[in-house]
Structure 1
Amino acid sequence: MNVHFLITADAVALSNAGSKDEILELLAARFATAYELDLQDVLDHLREREALGSTGFGRGVAIPHARIGGLQRPVGVLLKLDSPVDFAAADGMPVDLVFGLVSPENAGATHLHALAAISRLTRDDAMRDALTAADTPEVLYGLITNAGDRDAA
């Protein structure tokens, strides 16, 4: 998966967010910390994208995403929620896994490839179950890193 976007160990966390907006705030804060991005800029772009339509992907997964200036490549954040949160997903299911993605402003195809990589990862039932069962950020990071290594082979 890292072929399509960068995700670092400090971009993976467990969270007790209680609302969609709180999730977006936590994502922006994690992007700011992990990648030295401007928190408010990321939050504004994530909210702007979410206003166009929910990024609730389905099956308990949301993929809030945006394009922002100043990036060289797409970067990701993963939050595993303690309790599912309503994200207005098309299937009506609340989410407990949230993959955030921000890409360079002009990253059309690159952004879509990164979204597709996340989609493939979360559609895999065994991977989805393993991510849901993970109880530490280290385990989550190991799972997605190993998936990326396997896909690159």
Structure 2
Amino acid sequence: MELADILAERAVLCCTGVKTKRQLFEDLAARAAELTGHPAVDILNAITNREELGSTGLGNGIAIPHGKIAGLKGVTALFARLDEPIEFDSVDDQPVDIVVMLLAPTGAGADHLKALSRVARLLRTEAVVDELRRIDDPARLYATLTSPVTTHYAA
């Protein structure tokens, strides 16, 4: 599974003015609703319910919130680069500015885990994360996230 298989260019956001995790989740849920046709409230509830089990903030300013949505056609990713890091209750207590939200159909265990693994591997690559933090254009972020060079790092 390549990131380009689950991440549409319209799913890449540069977020300005986001102050809280809740606000970020609301913004991402609204965009995910546009992309998937599922109600934003259902997406927000799925992400929030998963987050209540434990923070998806991995450390190093990175978070991968995720959830399962009944009736979703396939795994869907959204990427957000925040202009200012926000508190996220991350494992290292550092604020977050790089976010990949993953949504998967209910019952899509293997595909959901493959997507989580792929994204986590990519975002453990310091050169990729540094590049993502330098870019403030959604089209360039998408190109970086899905380029053969970037995906080579995550292989």
Q: TM-score, normalised by structure 2?
A: 0.92
Which one-letter code corresponds to 2:12 in the other structure? Answer: V
Aligned: 1:2 with 2:7? no
CA deviation digits over 1:59-113, x for unaligned, max 9? 1001110011111211000010010001000011100011000001001121111
Aligned: 1:109 with 2:110? yes
2:138 corresponding residue in structure 1: 137
1:125 corresponding residue in structure 2: 126
CA distance in structure 2 between the aligned counterparts of 1:65 and 1:142, rounded to whole angstroms: 23
Relative distance call for 1:130 and 1:4 in structure 2 (3 A) is closer
1:5–1:76 contact (8 Å) kept in structure 2: no
Which consecutive unaligned segments of at least 5 residues does structure 2 have? none
2:85–2:95 contact (8 Å) kept in structure 1: yes
Relative distance call for 1:3 and 1:84 in structure 2 (3 A) is closer
1:31–1:39 contact (8 Å) kept in structure 2: yes
Aligned CA RMSD, in angstroms, stands at 2.0
1:71 corresponding residue in structure 2: 72
Which consecutive unaligned segments of at least 5 residues does structure 1 have? none
2:59–2:92 contact (8 Å) kept in structure 1: yes
Number of equivalenced pairs: 153
1:11 corresponding residue in structure 2: 11
CA distance in structure 2 between the aligned counterparts of 1:129 and 1:150, rounded to whole angstroms: 15
Aligned partner of residue 37 in structure 1, secondary structure: coil
1:23 corresponding residue in structure 2: 24
2:88–2:95 contact (8 Å) kept in structure 1: yes
2:3–2:118 contact (8 Å) kept in structure 1: no
CA distance in structure 2 between the aligned counterparts of 1:90 and 1:96, rounded to whole angstroms: 14
Q: TM-score, normalised by structure 1?
A: 0.93
Percent of counterpart pairs with the same letter?
39
1:62 corresponding residue in structure 2: 63
1:61–1:95 contact (8 Å) kept in structure 2: yes
CA deviation digits over 1:22-62, x for unaligned, max 9? 11101101101122221110001111001111110111001
